[in-house]
Structure 1
Amino acid sequence: MDNLTPQDLFSPSKARQQRAQAADWAHIDSWLSYKYAGRTVPTFERNEETMKVLRELSLANERADEERMIMEKVEREALKELKADEASRNQEDVKIVEATKAHLTPEGSESLRALASTAVALDTTSANSETLAYALIAHTSTSQTLSTSITHIQTLQRYLEKQHTLLRVQLKELQSNPAFSAPPSLQRQTTEQARQTKHVRAKIREYEDRLLSLEHHQAKGAATPASKGVSSAEAIADMLEQQTSLNALRQRVEGLEREVDEFAGLPADREVARKEVGKLEINLDNVRRRRDALFEGLVS
């Protein structure tokens, strides 16, 4: 902490950092003194990088020491168990085994070691040939089942990855292709067509009233003298012209109603309507694919 400045004395964070560094250097010095066992520790530059390297080295060394101590403890325990097992053995059985090993041929010794290794590998409690055969069959069956399951899982994983990639491509196409987005003027066009439809319906009612009025005057004119035949003919011509205009207006109204009905199920909001159109186009695409698949199945 000799490198503290007067400004650091009034900064709690810097003072805390300096204390932590001093504690790390104290730990490193203690570890180096222990490793050199009374010998002089070589001098080195005390900076952040050196402290980081020495701290990591000391931690790795401590972990290695702990692992070595654990291994030594396990070896001591195993040695105790082996000694206890040897002490509990029947000496007569030991003599028989030693005599058998001494009189075995090299091929026999090799076969005995193979038999023992097989029993250990199969984790069986007996070296009987039937027991080993059953254990080997069970292990083989389990291994084959696991291999088949792994193959099936790998195939399923590849299929899911392929479908995932395809869905991402379709999603990107839906988000980027202008064909799947509703036109910006959709709401305005719908409002305008609804307004025109309302106006045309009002005109139709007006012309129907005028037509009824003309028919009424025509009926009255039929009861007048024949001198009014000219005016009646003009009225009939006017009526026919208005009837033609009325039919044209009716056809126009029906056309506008059909156009408006195409957007009847869409929401008023433009973005929501655009999403709804996109969903309908996706459904149409799925139906087309199913139709193509059925057609291919029929052809094949």
Structure 2
Amino acid sequence: MDNLTPQDLFSPSKARQQRAQAADWAQIDSWLSYKYAGRTVPTFERNEETLKVLRELSSANERADEERMIMERVEREACKELEADEESRDPEDVKILEAVEAHLSTEGSDALRALASTAVALDTTSANPETLAHALIAHTSMSQTLANNIQHVRTLQRYLDKQHTLLRSQLNELQSNPAFSAPPSLQRQTTEQARQTKHLRTKIREYEDRLASLEYQQAKTAATPASKGVSSAEAIADMLEQQTSLSALRRRVERLEKEVDEFAGLPADREAARKEVGKLEIELDNVRRRRDALFEELVR
């Protein structure tokens, strides 16, 4: 609280931060005094980094103390259980066991220790050889299964690493090879072709209206009795010429529409169009590889 400035008095957040730091320093001072047990605590610079390190050290020390206490409690409980087990044994059984151990040969003593160690290692409740054999078979089967699973995981990991490297190289090729980039004039060509298509469609509608009007006038003239023999050759020639122009315009519009449809799925932005072309190239390569693989299987 001594570090509070007049400006901090008007800032609640800074005041709370200062109070929290003061409480942390008080806790650290108490912990250091306890650890040094009456000895003089060394002087050090009091800043945020030092406080952070001391807090972490204090927390680690507390966790270590708790773990040590747990270990000591477990050891005491284990000793009590062993003492209770020793006390609960029948004295006659103890005498018989001691007599057996005293009259065993070196090979017999080694065999007895090996049998006891195997039972403890396999965590079985009996030292019966048949029980130990079943437990050993189960542990061996489990070990082999785990080894096979580990080998499978390693093989899968190698395959994934290989595929990751391949995809990285393909991505680098797509990003650096000019062959996979869209031409700079793609957007301009698409815009120009769309404009021409719109213009030609307007012309077609205009010529269709004019053709319909001429057909209507021709039909009306042919239906008039006084003008049946007065058909204008110039009007018929003009109509045929316009019909020929209309057919040519239709063919041109269809050709332009086909060219525009090739770029219909591409975005207007050039960079986005390049990315789309790159994706299509990847799909094409995948289809080619699939085709080659099928062909190789057919050849085999």
Give the TM-score taking structure 1 as reference length. 0.70
Q: How does 1:1-300 map to 2 (within 5 A)?
A: 1-37=1-37, 39-48=38-47, 49-167=49-167, 170=170, 177-179=180-182, 183-185=186-188, 186-193=190-197, 195-196=199-200, 199=203, 254=251, 257-264=254-261, 266=264, 270=268, 274=273, 281-300=281-300
**Aligned AA (2:31):** W
Give the TM-score taking structure 2 as reference length. 0.70
**Aligned AA (1:184):** Q
**Aligned AA (1:122):** L
Pair 1:12–1:253, CA change in 2 (3 A): closer
Unaligned runs of 5+ in 1: 214-234
**Aligned AA (1:293):** A
CA RMSD of aligned residues (A): 4.4
Deviations 1:6-50 (A, max 9, x none): 44444433433332233223223322333333x332341351254
Pair 1:56–1:299, CA change in 2 (3 A): same
Secondary structure of the residue aligned to 2:187 is coil
Percentage of matched positions with identical amino acids: 62
CA contact (8 A) 2:187 2:269 kept: no
Q: What is the distance in 2 between the residues matched to 1:180 and 1:138?
A: 67
Unaligned runs of 5+ in 2: 219-233
Deviations 1:50-79 (A, max 9, x none): 444443333322222211111111111111
Secondary structure of the residue aligned to 2:66 is helix
Q: Which has the larger radius of gyration?
A: 1
Pair 1:72–1:259, CA change in 2 (3 A): same
Q: What is the distance in 2 between the residues matched to 1:276 and 1:58?
A: 57
Task: Tell me the matched-pair count.
Answer: 277
Which residue of the partner structure matches residue 230 of structure 1?
none
**Aligned AA (1:30):** S
Secondary structure of the residue aligned to 1:261 is helix
Q: What is the distance in 1 between the residues matched to 2:183 and 2:151?
A: 39
Q: What is the distance in 1 between the residues matched to 2:182 and 2:43?
A: 71
**Aligned AA (1:260):** E
Q: What is the distance in 2 between the residues matched to 1:148 and 1:181?
A: 55
Q: What is the distance in 1 between the residues matched to 2:185 and 2:278?
A: 8
Pair 1:26–1:264, CA change in 2 (3 A): closer
CA contact (8 A) 2:33 2:41 kept: no
